[in-house]
A and B are shown apart, each in its own frame.
Chain A
């Protein structure tokens, strides 16, 4: 290692020699493989094989010399490292296809069965070769023509700038970002769906949810409200209107108890202020107002809602009890 590191010129020459040698070797190998063994059926592109072999040979030589140089100089692939590894991966794939192809050609028994696959492989092979060549040349040219200028202050900055530029170029060439984006959405497509099918399924509601208002009764059926008008006083939206009179049995009761749903902001202050726990906010919130005037909840309606929601209210309170 030291030896080669001290003599960069020699290493350079050696790399070039290896490049030329392995290129020619592989070219000859591919050519002989194609020409000496007579395929029973026509190969895919009869006259492109030479061309094919040339590109394969060049790529192969290039990859070997690349790897060799970095091994000899013991330098990690630093500048364009991500793409360097991508290149190596492509080379690996290419190598595999090449091997498969050769095995295929030399094995006569399997030939009939595997030939179509061989065709596919040879096509991909060509493709990978071109891709590798292009990537490699872009990287080499990038290192050569856009080197990081060595000024004292901003070497690192410039380096990263050039690196970004190169990476952007290669990414753009391979439409890398687009493919990752598509992959991302493809992944989400098979995720579990988060839809809640509303009328059939409902979102869980907190026991403290402040929804529709209601008036409660005692278990014996007597309404709780004592017409103290605290709720009317506390209501920040002035949604409550109460009129009261003495009932025949002498107790004070409301004669009118209207809540305007349009004004009410569901703050729940009325519930908090009520001394007899009469007015409450229930967890019911799926309601509609179909006609004008329906938005006024009269006393009867409020009591009816209270009757309806009593079991739910009791349950909510029980659930909430530990936290009160």
Chain B
């Protein structure tokens, strides 16, 4: 009995160890987004709450919590409350298989990539349920767009990840990272550069980020699937969106940027100089770089039109991956990896 209790306590602790840092990161990611947006537009950004605005995310969260939770009269109440919960759960569940340093992973399962895929696809249910349950035309349109977009881009993204799986011969994140050991030129970024670009673009589309945020398109459908949500519901959607973006960045850094591997390994001088840096730091830096890239892209490009979006997904990204995968195969064959 005590054993079981202990085990459960351990599991809960593990979950908290993932949950708390992820939530804090998400909170500060929202601030980072505002700051980067401001900087790109020549502004200063949030700087009133706390030192240089560092407490702003908490002020925002408090504000959301204080607001009244309004449910439209015609909405389907059960599903309406369920949707944000599904969104945020799936967004955070993905973090279970992300290794941040050798051995620092909650669930070191063999098919980590498959798991991530399954979980992030489940997240789409949150969106479509929200769109359906709100009983509003804008929400419905937003959900439909989001679904179409996620389905089309998941294919290209899957292909992009297939390249990584081919090169490393494994679906386990730790194995994939270990296969990239030995400095910056061993990262899969180089042999798989086109796939990396495809991955980043698909990541933007999967998380409904600009330039692919048709699901939210403020100008046409107000806020898309979350138009009827306020207060905590909105906050949860917001949170899941940012958690998903961070997840995409983390996966990108694991699969293409060598995860926790130092970029300076085996470089005579720099490698020696940077030996003391804990491995987690590299992972965090790479993830943050990817996350920054996502923000950067958002504040640079205007939104795609819907047909352009579909055309890009089906006629550019998927063919690119389809061409590059045989090349990768050839490369593996020739290089005898």
Q: Which residues of A contact B (CB under 8 A)?
A: 44-45, 47-48, 51, 112-113, 115-117, 119-120, 123, 127, 172, 175, 178, 181-182, 184-186, 188-189, 191-195, 197
Contact = CB atoms under 8 A, between A and B. Distances in A.
Contacts of B238: none
A51 B330 CA distance: 11
A143 B317 CA distance: 26
A123 B185 contact: yes
A194 B185 contact: no
Given A120-B185, A182-B296, A188 B42 contact: yes
Nearest to A189: B39
28 contacts: A47-B334, A48-B331, A48-B334, A116-B267, A116-B268, A119-B185, A120-B184, A123-B185, A123-B190, A172-B316, A175-B197, A181-B301, A182-B296, A182-B297, A184-B300, A185-B296, A186-B296, A188-B39, A188-B40, A188-B41, A188-B42, A191-B42, A193-B39, A194-B43, A195-B38, A195-B42, A195-B44, A197-B44
Contact of A44 (B41, B44, B184, B185): B185
A115 B185 CA distance: 12
Choose among A115, A191, A193 the residue with the greatest number of B CB atoms under 10 Å from its CB. Answer: A193
Given A123-B185, A123-B190, A178-B301, A47 B43 contact: no
Nearest to B271: A116
B335 A127 contact: no
A193 B44 contact: yes
A224 to B, nearest CB: 43
B336 interface: yes
A44 B190 CA distance: 13
B309 interface: no
Q: Which 10 A-B pairs have the closest CB atoms?
A: A195-B44, A116-B267, A185-B300, A48-B335, A189-B39, A194-B42, A185-B40, A123-B185, A195-B43, A181-B300
Choose among B185, B193, B297, B299 the residue with the greatest number of A CB atoms under 10 Å from its CB. Answer: B185
B318 to A, nearest CB: 15
Contacts of A194: 42-43
A238 B301 CA distance: 49
Contacts of B297: 182
Choose among A123, A127, A185 the residue with the greatest number of B CB atoms under 10 Å from its CB. Answer: A185
A47 B190 contact: no
Given A117-B267, A192-B42, A195-B43, 6 more contacts: A47-B336, A116-B183, A119-B183, A123-B190, A186-B296, A188-B42
A176 to B, nearest CB: 12
Given A120-B185, A182-B297, A185-B299, A47 B335 contact: yes
Interface residues of B, number: 28
Interface string B181-198: 001110000100100010
B22 interface: no
A44 B40 CA distance: 40
Interface string B10-44: 00000000000000000000000000101111111
A48 B334 CA distance: 7
Interface string B299-331: 111000000000000001000000000000001
A112 B297 CA distance: 41
Contacts of B336: 47
B94 to A, nearest CB: 27
Contacts of B184: 120
Contacts of A44: 185
Contacts of A127: 190, 193
B137 interface: no
B110 interface: no
B52 interface: no
A127 B327 CA distance: 14
A181 B298 CA distance: 11
B266 interface: yes
Nearest to A122: B185
A45 B335 contact: yes
Interface string B34-76: 0010111111100000000000000000000000000000000
Contacts of A119: 183, 185
Contacts of A120: 184-185
Given A181-B300, A193-B42, A116 B190 contact: no
A189 B292 CA distance: 13
A124 to B, nearest CB: 8
A181 B297 CA distance: 9
B266 A116 contact: yes
B39 A112 contact: no
Contacts of B185: 44, 119-120, 123
A194 B301 CA distance: 22
Choose among A51, A186, A189, A192 the residue with the greatest number of B CB atoms under 10 Å from its CB. Answer: A189
Contacts of B41: 188
B188 to A, nearest CB: 12
A298 to B, nearest CB: 36
A8 to B, nearest CB: 35
Interface string B226-264: 000000000000000000000000000000000000000
A195 B300 CA distance: 20
B22 to A, nearest CB: 27
A18 B331 CA distance: 29
Contact of A193 (B43, B197, B267): B43
Contacts of A182: 296-297, 300
Contacts of A188: 39-42
Contacts of B271: 116
A189 B43 CA distance: 9
A100 to B, nearest CB: 15
Nearest to B45: A195
A251 B40 CA distance: 63
Nearest to B331: A48
A248 B266 CA distance: 100
